[in-house]
């Protein structure tokens, strides 16, 4: 178990490092867009439709500077005005940080492939080593979770009320771990889009159809999100079972993907 602990500790450190890099890149990109919006003439009291249009235009200008493409017709003057600031940040900050992120992710993938549970994870189409690395980086050793429900809560897919809390001022709030939820959502999205005939996508489609029939589900997007969350919980449960078996706890084989799980 000491070797496993070492692998898990390394993955957790790498994930913290990776997330800081990602936050920094996103912050720089947002700063570039904000600078460009100002050059376009953005004002906080504009109506929502105008703000949305300016945001979209600024995003396009910045993206074309990043990729070296000429600006769209009508955006030439704006692009010239912001190119120095945006171009320098891209070349001197975003490019090297993105390369560093890729190096970190490569290390994470290599470590994930050494975990006892890797053969089970690898057998599922639509999943890659980085997804496993992210979950372990966020959750740590899955042997420390008494049951899948505790892992669900850690990763942000437990029942919403389970995250009810109070602020320092005593006001009620809901502390959902949004970054961990986002990481899991990305993995679930890859299962839906990259696993056309897989068990997990089939499970998602079946549950989506059931959700669409429920009176409280008003839109297709609502049904989609509920079904994806259901599928992600199933994945976590099966991962926990595979981990506790292959990680030395011998709690039994993972159950088939079709076994029921609370929604």
For 2, residues 6+ apart whose C-beta sits below 8 A from its C-beta are none
Residues 192/204, Cβ–Cβ less than 8 Å: yes
Per-residue pLDDT at 263 = 41
> What's the mean pLDDT when you consider all of the chain?
90
- Average confidence (pLDDT) over 225-242: 95
- Express as a percent the part of the chain with pLDDT over 90: 75
Whether the pLDDT of residue 257 is over 80: the answer is no
130-157: average pLDDT: 96
Q: Would the pLDDT of 252 be above 50?
A: no
What's this model's pTM, rounded to 2 decimal places? 0.86
pLDDT tens digits, one per residue of 2-59: 788 899 999 999 999 999 999 999 999 999 999 999 999 988 888 999 999 999 999 9
pLDDT at 256 over 70: no
Torsion of CA 187, 193, 197, 198, to 10 degrees: 0
**Does position 137 have pLDDT exceeding 90, yes or no?**
yes
- Residue 187's pLDDT band, with cuts at 50, 70 and 90, is very high
Sequence ranges of the domains in the chain: 2-110, 116-249
Q: How far apart are CA 17 and CA 106, in angstroms?
A: 13
φ/ψ of 247, rounded to 5, equals -90, 5
Burial class (CB in 10 A: 0-12, 13-18, 19+), 22: middle
Kindly provide the residue ranges of all beta strands, DSSP E only, lying in the chain, ordered along the sequence: 164-166, 172-174
How much is the pLDDT for 249?
Answer: 43
pLDDT at 52: 94
Mean pLDDT, residues 199-224 taken together:
91
Distances (CA, A) of 189 to 74, 126, 225, 228: 36, 9, 10, 8
What would the pLDDT profile of 86-109 be if each residue is shown by its tens digit? Answer: 999 999 999 999 999 999 999 999
């Amino acid at each position: 178990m000491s070797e496993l602990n070492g692998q898990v500790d390394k993955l957790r450190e790498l994930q913290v490092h990776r997330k800081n890099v990602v936050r920094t890149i996103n912050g720089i990109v947002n700063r570039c867009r904000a600078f460009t919006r100002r050059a376009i003439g953005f004002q906080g009291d504009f109506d929502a439709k105008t703000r949305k249009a300016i945001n979209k235009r600024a995003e396009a200008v910045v993206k074309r500077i990043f990729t070296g493409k000429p600006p769209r017709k009508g955006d030439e003057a704006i692009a010239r005005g912001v190119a120095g600031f945006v171009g320098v940040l891209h070349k001197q900050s975003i490019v090297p940080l993105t390369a560093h992120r890729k190096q970190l992710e490569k290390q994470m993938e290599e470590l994930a492939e050494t975990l006892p549970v890797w053969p089970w994870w690898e057998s599922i189409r639509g999943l890659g080593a980085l997804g496993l690395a992210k979950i372990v980086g966020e959750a740590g050793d899955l042997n420390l979770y008494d049951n899948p429900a505790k892992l669900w809560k850690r990763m942000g897919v437990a029942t919403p009320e389970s995250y009810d809390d109070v602020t320092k001022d005593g006001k009620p709030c809901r502390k959902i771990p949004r970054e961990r939820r986002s990481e899991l959502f990305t993995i679930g999205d890859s299962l839906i889009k990259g696993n056309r005939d897989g068990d997990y996508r089939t499970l998602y489609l079946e549950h989506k159809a059931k959700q669409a029939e429920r009176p409280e589900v008003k839109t297709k997007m609502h049904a989609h999100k509920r079904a994806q969350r259901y599928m992600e919980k199933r994945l976590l449960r099966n991962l926990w079972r595979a981990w506790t078996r292959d990680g030395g706890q011998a709690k039994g084989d993972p159950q088939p993907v079709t076994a029921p799980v609370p929604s």
